[in-house]
Chains A and B, each alone.
Chain A
Amino acid sequence: MRARPRLKNPILRTRQPLTPPMPRSRTALGLTAQAAEGRFALQRCESCGRVQYPPVDSCRGCLSEELLWTPMSGRGELLAHTTLHHSNDPFYRERLPWRLGLTRLEEGPVVVAHLHRDCPPPPAAVRVTAKLDKAGRGVLVALPADELGDMSTDPRHGEFSCDPEHRKVLVTDGKSRVGQALVRELAAAGASVIWVGQAEPWKKYEGQDAVEKLPQVTVVPLDLTDERGVKRIGAEIGGRVDILINNAEVHRTQGIADSGGAELARREMEVNYLGLLRLAQAFGPAMRARGADGGASATAWVNVLSVYALSNYPPQGTYSASKAAALSLSQCLRAEMQDAGIRVVNVFPGPIDEEWNQPLPPPKLAPERLARDIVRGLRDGVEDLFPGDVAREWLGRWKDNPKVLERELALESRTA
């Protein structure tokens, strides 16, 4: 449970966003890449098995260059600890005192890690995890060994997470099944305000009463193809949104030959790609300004993309292309948000169990499951989320060899 943040004194100056030190060697960014997906992995030598830390370019034992990022157990022994009451770094100066620990991992290396306040003094068993810090860089965090929960019990570690509890959230499309599931999940997670965007608010929809009777919910008219409308809503609520979840999309199932003109593809791009651009321009600056605004600061921007953004799925070719465009733009957004410490989370679901995926065989992702994974991803502080079995399988194939995946998908579209 996060403590409810205190109400802000509107006369006081809003704290400006700062981040922890960002520079890392290229090799060390491997830790960040792993933490982005929620894994704690270190380099392991393929030749002699030695686990390395800090990250190196050749094995410290046998000098082999075959170093593979390998998941760690996280089990370790706290050897020494300190609490900093002084720092030369501006970010930490305003967060002192700050606790650090020196831990020997079961796999061998000794690591410096942020130390949870509930960890007993050394010698003690701890559980080491890898998290993204406020700069979006991977760091190690040592938690009490016997605690199954998250970092929320140490208020100083709250910034590793983007917990929706006590936060104000905008869901850009509240009518879709995914949108409705997100609203329910966010309400259950303790979000204090949920703005629900609706492109055509006058139209009734299935499930309307259940969503709109929730006390946290406020419906806002939001059509991502309407630039002035998006700007107006951004001006109205942008300065209060802590988490923005962009799930609005147009989804048609067509390749090139069967689409007979660019109109449907244009509508996909209007919402899936340009809609994101409009949102980012309308909400980005205000959210950036509130990146360090106390316990209820702006903290995350979530884009619900598709695993088809990684590699084109020909039966849904134009949709895939629009999601790929959105992914590319989202990387730009992530870069622009990093100085404010706002995490841009990209969600790559496999086919969702909804009308436009009706011809696809199972397994398909239930909207409720997707919503649950998104909220959990926010709590865990991950940056790239692949919910469901299909998405994770695609990711594995894509990481293994994107060219092979392209050929496999071309073949699947012939047999589909």
Chain B
Amino acid sequence: MTRHGYEGVALAAPVTVPYRRYSTHDAHWWIARALAALLKDTGLQKDDIDGLGISSFTLGPDTAVGLTQHLGMSLRWLDHVPMGGASGVVCLRRAARAVQAGDAEIVACIAGDTNHVDTFRRTLSTFSRFAQDAVYPYGSGGPNASFAFITDWWMRQFGVEREDFGKLCVAQRRNAMDNPHALLRKPLDLDQYLGARVIAEPLHLFDCVMPCAGADGYLVMTAERAESLGLDSVRLLGAIERHNAFPDDPVQMRGGWALDRDELWGQSGVGPGNMDFFQAYDDYPVITLMQIEELGFCPSGEGAAFVREHEFAYDGDCPLNTCGGQLSMGQAGAAGGFLGLVEAMRQLLRRPLGRQVADATHGAVSGFGMINYDRGLCSAAAVLARP
């Protein structure tokens, strides 16, 4: 059975509540700021929103349900997407189906997290049962060790060098230089990247995202509705998600994209070669490389060669994470999973946070999330286009 397409779905009003390294506010505050920004951006009233999709790690003890009362919203459609780095695309998939089916007219998708001084450690220690039982007691203090294993394995298996990861990180930092919201805007060159202090071999400082507080959001509605409201919007051409793909791979060499990419490009009617930019999930550069390969920008196992042949800044031939990505913006919890999506919308709507990719009409967004034990379980991707 073929899946229904996403015809008639419009995405509008990408918003980012400026990130901060630490915040004394709760996640509720950040999510409320994002909702307020969505309304301000569109001129809509709160009551016009009848659907809400939420992603957050630090909302506890609340879920999306408690937020309805906190925000004073009466909704007929509500979703809570606890998928971290995949939550942006997954939230979009849910919301798109809701507006197509008429279950909701306008869905606000918001991810927001706070970062108190001790938030990150607490989030890690209770992240998942497997992490609590079989990773956290080993001193990793988070995903560093899991990604160090994956990076170590990739480097040996596929001949990837630190310089290859470095090239991606340096390009992203260049993208961030004109983005006033990026928390990390000191110039970074390859020597600085290579000379940075080691965190968990082979990972060094600039391979790791910096936890911070922040929120991102966007609206999903029908194209007719967007037009009648006079909102600029982008189209959703295709979207995929997959959870716990390839469970028998001893080390994570693939995510779910490998299973679903033909479906993604088939549904979208375009291919990787048509993309004007790629917003990849960049918690660690090895994952960026994995997405480049698996979404078909280059053949499997040839990511390193691809990196050496292309340029990834906004003005290069393969613009990647054009606002600087999480590696330069900071990782605002689950909002990190929204960042690529809202940046893709901004590029297509010609209102980027930083530099504009010239003449961008099509872009790909990819999400990856939830290091439950030794690997990320959730993968997702979407293809967006200007109307």
Contact = CB atoms under 8 A, between A and B. Distances in A.
B and A form one assembly:
yes
Interface of A: 20-25, 27-28, 53-55, 60, 79-89, 91-92, 95, 98, 100, 102, 104, 110-114, 122, 133, 135, 137, 139
Nearest to A54: B134
Contact of B250 (A104, A112, A133, A139): A104
Contact of B148 (A23, A25, A28, A82): A82
Contacts of A80: 148-150, 152-153, 251
A135 B138 CA distance: 11
A82 B137 contact: no
Interface residues of B, number: 38
Contact of B132 (A25, A82, A91, A110): A25
The binding surface of chain A is classed by DSSP as loop
B136 A21 contact: yes
B200 A83 contact: yes
Nearest to A88: B141
Contacts of A102: 149, 153, 251, 374
B133 A87 contact: no
A95 B141 CA distance: 13
A89 B130 CA distance: 17
Contacts of B139: 20, 84, 87, 89, 91-92, 95, 98, 100
B135 interface: yes
A24 B133 contact: yes
Contact of B200 (A23, A79, A82, A139): A82
Contacts of B134: 28, 53-55, 111-112
B201 A100 contact: no
The binding surface of chain B is classed by DSSP as helix
Given A82-B149, A113-B138, 4 more contacts: A23-B125, A82-B200, A86-B199, A88-B141
A112 B135 contact: yes
A103 B140 CA distance: 16
A104 B251 CA distance: 9
Interface string B141-172: 11011101110110010000000000000000
9 contacts: A84-B148, A85-B197, A88-B141, A91-B139, A98-B139, A102-B149, A102-B153, A112-B146, A122-B153
B152 A139 contact: no
B70 interface: no
A79 B155 CA distance: 12
Interface string B291-304: 00000000000000
Contacts of B136: 21, 89
Contacts of A122: 152-153, 156
Contacts of A111: 134
B120 A82 contact: no
A86 B373 contact: no
